Amino acid sequence: MKNTYQHHESRRKPFSKSQQHRSHGYSHDSHDEPRKKKEHGQVFLRDHDIVESIIKNAKVTSETTVMEIGCGDGFLTRAILAKTPCKKLQVFEIDEEWLNVVAQSIKNDRLSLNLINILDVDLASFFNANDPVVLLANLPYHITFPILHKIQKHADLFSHGVVMVQEEVAQRLVAQTGKNAGAISHYFQHFFELSLLTKVPPSSFEPHPKIFSRLVGFRPRKTLANITDPEGFWLFMRSCFRSPRQMLRNNLKGTKFAHVILPQEFQLLRAQQITTPQFVSLWEHVRTQATHSA
């Protein structure tokens, strides 16, 4: 069996090479491994129970293409290939040294390894909306939100996914109101169905991080709530959350929405107390005021 190894040197001048290996199992020699690099946020999963949870919460068939971001030494990669019947596993890794470790130690014709920064990947060149991909990944924590934004902009390419993020980020993603809620909570909930899954302790990783992590399930919404002028709405939302503990009327001072006269029911509310449907209703009020004052 063989795995395909694509080396993308830059977005402008990509090139590829294939490396064929004779199959001799999935053994992994840990001697002389590369160092784990802080600049890439390399914290490697070591807990088989967490891997089981990732796979259990995904629906992978023999017709499914799976995507993994940041394979590290291949701990999750091996499990996906061994425990699912996926048609193909596309891996994107920024670190050539660790990708070489995986290329040498995992021999499987369903595996395709791509040496490239995930933020530089043209997802549409790898995946097709007619055959949406399943994302299973321990996301690099320092670029979690840029990755999530990239997924959102290509949501039609994804069926669903299970990703590892910081516990604090997970709580922000699913919060509808309360102290964890923010503009980014409302934004991603508009585009995705999100669910909290297994909580992951620091001991599940090597090296041990100082924080807890969480598996989060996501599925792109098939139908989005109707929002008039979405760009203006999200700008308004961010303005409302400038200082989450302040009342809405104070946050809007000094913004392009300072002229807005809030309805009585919003006068004493903080942004963290307002649901997405309420924000949409308030936005219609704001737009109506702007139209009448023009």
Domains of the chain: 4-220 (3.40.50.150), 230-293 (no CATH)
Q: Of 162, 201, 198, nearest to 79 (Cα)? A: 162
For 85-130, the pLDDT digits (tens) are 999 999 999 999 999 999 999 999 999 999 999 999 999 999 999 9
**For a pLDDT cut of 90, what percent of the chain falls above it?**
80
**Residue 172 binned pLDDT confidence (cut-offs 50, 70, 90):** very high
Mean pLDDT of 248-263: 93
For 52-96, the pLDDT digits (tens) are 999 999 999 999 999 999 999 999 999 999 999 999 999 999 999
Whole-prediction pTM: 0.87
